Structure 1
């Protein structure tokens, strides 16, 4: 029997284990495999393979039974995912089935998930904006939370590295608070967007408008074809024209011969060895058989998403860590952040009736943060700031759907382009608060015997005040640009609705106040790395995925150096 155990352990032993296959997990797998490490990737969701598992990628609206809408029964099955407004008949197969695997909300938390290989890299908005020292230094300057242990210079080369691999199209602006990157040619703004850009930049100092910096290719790049402007990205792209783990990172990892991908693997906990002071592997519950299996490795990367990674660590208890792996500070599961979302302003525009645009551009415009970036833009009303994303378009034949008109003239009129409109949505910074937290309920287990996550987090005073200004500034800019019928909106939602949850295992210099060091290692368990959103010390206003990828590449580089020095 002992010989059998030794053989089983050898069969389940790898150089590295990566938990999660999304934005950061897929990138970690690619980096580790390309550096020669036999790497096991554990994914809790089902297997999705590029092309063959994109069933709706070429379907037209009339090909869907419900013209893209979910049935009432499906809305009940996906009762959290529907809060986002992103899930539809054409992409529901990628989303988490809430009814089958719910969590607990002490306060509402809108956790938008994708339980498939590739995770939310199949569904993300693909916007890629670098953090700057305005972000990395803010906590220290304002006495909020703790200081980041890194600065922009530490991560800048890794932004370069990630952008060159991913393929990010965009325009350079030369702004210190939104550093430029390694960009492919930018997409083009349409005529109304160009008009609004001109008006905003002429009338508002320190406010700029640019085309989105997006992980959609505008030219052939690294063997991948350019974007076809179909705007069907959330179904999976048959051209590989936007970056996802499924279409890019995992295939590149597989080409090395070093990748083992195991889907349907619910990671239960990390195995800790008190004698060595290191982790030796992970425990996995097979999603289908419910069998508990152990896998072993020299280094472990946790990239399950901020709440899921923290949950794994919290469930990894031992005599050394009775409150969760690496939780000497007591900060594990705390400091949940997200971004403001679903609020802004819209308006219509009179003119430009003789102009239109080509294709369905899967990208919009971006207005970088302009509040509290210098002395001239400082306000005493709130800390930090916000940016905007949006677009201009003309209404089409769908505008007649609920009209009482009828007849030939009515139908002929619908074949002409309708009025121009323009709208922007604010993405605002949420501060780190210790009492914005998640934890485990050990009395309520899921069907795999794993404690359920409990969320207890909400917007605080700074966030509530900021939301008012996000709407007011949006309306002011639209009116100044000549739009009519301008109205603000706030469609609400709780933390999580921005789908940028972060902060549950923050980086810091002091093990007494943080979970990870400056290279994303768990302070007290140095062979465990966390490079997903859990590591974030503040949230910035920028979409964070390119930062996760840069931090991941940097952490893998450090891990390899430490392994070569026999420190891991």
Structure 2
């Protein structure tokens, strides 16, 4: 994967893709496979698949302090450390230094960023769920936000394409709120998870517990990419997968783009503006600052794809000012930066289970259970205190020898105890939908510049009554289900949280039918600059309650093919 870094640069291309993560990789692949000479720009460092996964094969005892972050690490990643997992010794290198990449908060916002080739596709959670028409029609039905300009039938073929290419585990459920797809064999539930699944089905109509649908190869099927093979059940995914078992752009879509001979990649390239020609009413390319030398460059193209992540892509548009667009490119609607969404989480319950003492499981499965949305789907499922819904992720496991230490055993008793697994526990945490609110937004601060002379981002966004009311139900429903399943010592939890902690930033340049209330049209193109496409989380018009990356990929593939056809027709 290293050689594309050295491809000869030129002044003009058919297409430019900004970003190399989930969306950027798909844009590069589809554009290149459609014959377009494509320049891919990444603001961060080069990363080579396998070679640069420095902690992928390290065991717990290989890390100083058991892998706990040092005070020096926390000082450099104080905001990143809020997640509770990004700044440990095994994975901190995938997240930015907060001191080098500052941002501002009117209200707390947890902005987790990975600046390197592959972006956050190297450390994403990999849960991959389709939206349904319940999601695409939600804004129109309950009056929040604006109506999506697409429906499930428009995206379904692209979900098929993406799932077949990346590999997604799962079982067919036939649920209208969670459409089935093109699945790899599901990851097997352990005995307690299967028990809870059965008890939930017995006691709660309309609730179905299943194995999480995750982007992992779980068969001997051959997938395109750099030697991708089936999951090894190591569950060290956030460190980078040397087997390519989980989908990342680094192991899959970028090698496919490179194989066409049509891709040139330039790393350390901070895109800060899309250039505009008022005569043609088209974008002509992008302006770039070299991250290391701070030299400036301009690259021209017939079409531009912004895939830098929701906040970054919208920031580029906001900085792309001209006589035609004094408030940012495509911002006649004043919607750039508004409607920030995420998912709210950190709420649910856990419990202990007496039983299955003679049963265990093997391997470290890289996914748990998923319980799809069951609220506000009609009839008795409807709630008066909040709109939309939530799902659950979680799972069951057994404790280890550490439980024996608390018992203060010694001698032969201790030796015998540490050879036995601990008791069974089950935990489930909710993922809730966040509504689009115009006053949940970010702005650019031109008085606080970063080291490249660019404005920093200021967040002013919060959860509101709808989310807070939903959390009460998310917690109580988890307690009810675990209690019905025979758990003891069931403990609810509702941890402190904020927007951004779900690492699913969405909105900020939303799609819509009307250019007066939205930024993008139904093909992900700017209403008023038809050769600029935005296909990361920026375009999302609502959030649903499922992980969004599969939807980003489907929309990106669709948009890239639309752009290629429009170019061939001479329309852009």
Q: TM-score, normalised by structure 1?
A: 0.97
Matched, 1:556 2:560: yes
CA offset at residue 259 of structure 1? 1.3
Matched, 1:494 2:521: no
CA distance in structure 2 between the aligned counterparts of 1:526 and 1:188, rounded to whole angstroms:
46
1:4 paired residue number: none
CA offset at residue 415 of structure 1? 1.8
2:446 paired residue number: 442
CA distance in structure 2 between the aligned counterparts of 1:416 and 1:27, rounded to whole angstroms:
47
Matched, 1:57 2:61: no
SS in 2 for 1:112: coil
CA distance in structure 2 between the aligned counterparts of 1:228 and 1:549, rounded to whole angstroms:
25
**Cα root mean square deviation, aligned:** 1.2
SS in 2 for 1:246: coil
CA offset at residue 493 of structure 1? 1.7
CA offset at residue 338 of structure 1? 0.4
SS in 2 for 1:198: helix
CA distance in structure 1 between the aligned counterparts of 2:330 and 2:277, rounded to whole angstroms:
13
SS in 2 for 1:66: helix
Matched, 1:226 2:225: no
Instruction: Please show how residues 232-381 of structure 1 align to structure 2 within 5 Å.
Output: 232-381=236-385
SS in 2 for 1:381: coil
SS in 2 for 1:11: coil
CA distance in structure 2 between the aligned counterparts of 1:25 and 1:564, rounded to whole angstroms:
21
CA shift in 2, pair 1:401/1:102, >3 Å: farther
Instruction: Please show how residues 73-112 of structure 1 align to structure 2 within 5 Å.
Output: 73-87=72-86, 88-112=88-112
CA offset at residue 66 of structure 1? 2.3
Q: Is this contact kept in 1: 2:166–2:223, CA < 8 A? A: no
Q: Is this contact kept in 1: 2:53–2:240, CA < 8 A? A: yes
2:569 paired residue number: 565
1:28 paired residue number: 27
CA distance in structure 1 between the aligned counterparts of 2:467 and 2:554, rounded to whole angstroms:
28
CA distance in structure 1 between the aligned counterparts of 2:122 and 2:435, rounded to whole angstroms:
28
Matched, 1:422 2:434: no
CA offset at residue 147 of structure 1? 0.4
CA distance in structure 1 between the aligned counterparts of 2:521 and 2:291, rounded to whole angstroms:
33
Deviations 1:366-392 (A, max 9, x none): 000000012221110100010000010
Q: Is this contact kept in 1: 2:9–2:264, CA < 8 A? A: no
Please say which of residues 112-121 and 215-224 is displaced more in the overlay.
215-224
2:194 paired residue number: 194
CA distance in structure 1 between the aligned counterparts of 2:407 and 2:59, rounded to whole angstroms:
24
Q: Is this contact kept in 2: 1:343–1:492, CA < 8 A? A: no
SS in 2 for 1:549: helix
CA shift in 2, pair 1:402/1:24, >3 Å: farther
SS in 2 for 1:90: coil
Q: Is this contact kept in 2: 1:169–1:185, CA < 8 A? A: yes
SS in 1 for 2:560: helix
2:4 paired residue number: none
Q: Is this contact kept in 1: 2:16–2:304, CA < 8 A? A: yes
1:479 paired residue number: 483
SS in 2 for 1:73: helix
CA distance in structure 2 between the aligned counterparts of 1:195 and 1:316, rounded to whole angstroms:
55
CA distance in structure 2 between the aligned counterparts of 1:260 and 1:398, rounded to whole angstroms:
51
Deviations 1:498-541 (A, max 9, x none): 01110000000100000000000000000000110000000000
CA distance in structure 2 between the aligned counterparts of 1:398 and 1:49, rounded to whole angstroms:
38
CA distance in structure 2 between the aligned counterparts of 1:489 and 1:435, rounded to whole angstroms:
29
CA distance in structure 2 between the aligned counterparts of 1:562 and 1:346, rounded to whole angstroms:
52
Unaligned runs of 5+ in 2: 1-7
2:210 paired residue number: 210
SS in 1 for 2:565: helix
CA offset at residue 408 of structure 1? 3.5
CA distance in structure 2 between the aligned counterparts of 1:208 and 1:301, rounded to whole angstroms:
39
CA distance in structure 1 between the aligned counterparts of 2:288 and 2:9, rounded to whole angstroms:
16
SS in 2 for 1:169: coil
CA distance in structure 1 between the aligned counterparts of 2:75 and 2:44, rounded to whole angstroms:
20
CA distance in structure 1 between the aligned counterparts of 2:485 and 2:99, rounded to whole angstroms:
46
1:181 paired residue number: 181
Q: Is this contact kept in 2: 1:66–1:89, CA < 8 A? A: no
CA distance in structure 1 between the aligned counterparts of 2:536 and 2:189, rounded to whole angstroms:
32
2:157 paired residue number: 157
1:40 paired residue number: 39
CA offset at residue 402 of structure 1? 5.8
CA offset at residue 405 of structure 1? 4.1
Matched, 1:127 2:127: yes
SS in 2 for 1:180: coil
CA shift in 2, pair 1:484/1:275, >3 Å: same
CA distance in structure 1 between the aligned counterparts of 2:410 and 2:211, rounded to whole angstroms:
39
Deviations 1:263-314 (A, max 9, x none): 1111111111111101111111110001111111110100111011111110
Deviations 1:218-256 (A, max 9, x none): 113315211010001111111110000111111111111
Please say which of residues 489-498 and 158-167 is displaced more in the overlay.
489-498
CA offset at residue 400 of structure 1? 4.3
Residues paired across the two proteins, number? 560
SS in 2 for 1:162: helix
